[in-house]
Amino acid sequence: MNPSSGNNGQNPDRPAPKWDFLTNHAHVLLCVARDSGIRLRDIAANVGITERAAHRILSELIEDGYVLREREGRRNRYQVKAKLPLRHPLADGQEVGDLLRVFGPAPG
């Protein structure tokens, strides 16, 4: 994930795909899991969405308890709650941590 690339962390010479296997919520969650001090502008750039959309998605994840936010000076630090269940019925019995393990601690 390259924050300077607004193309979902992919090669900037290649056009962005028309669809993806993961939602923007999943992508935001992965960004936060990989970098607990990530800034909204970097989340937006990595996911390929606006800062406003990144803020809305992150706020929803915080509101629903999937991410904890802690103020540290002028910055925020985030913590993903890996033991919470994934929300879709097809993922019954699976936790957020299962998703994070599949996609690993990776770029960034």
Q: Using a pLDDT cut of 90, give the percent of the chain over it.
A: 66
Q: Alpha-carbon distance 54 to 25, whole Å?
A: 9
Mean pLDDT across 82-108: 84
- Pick the more confident residue, 39 or 8: 39
pLDDT value of residue 10: 52
Quick: pLDDT tens for 37-71: 999 999 999 999 999 999 999 999 999 999 999 99
* pTM of the model as a whole: 0.79
- SS3 of the chain: CCCCCCCCCCCCCCCCCCCCCCCHHHHHHHHHHHCCCCCHHHHHHHHCCCHHHHHHHHHHHHHCCCEEEEEECCEEEEEECCCCECCCHHHCCCEHHHHHHHHCCCCC
Asked which of 2-16, 21-35, 72-86, 93-107 is least confident by mean pLDDT, the reply is 2-16
Q: Alpha-carbon distance 19 to 34, whole Å?
A: 23
Q: Which CATH architecture has domain 24-103?
A: Orthogonal Bundle (1.10)
Mean pLDDT across 25-42: 96
Mean pLDDT across 70-82: 94
Radius of gyration of the chain (CA): 14
- Pick the more confident residue, 65 or 7: 65
Q: Alpha-carbon distance 3 to 12, whole Å?
A: 12
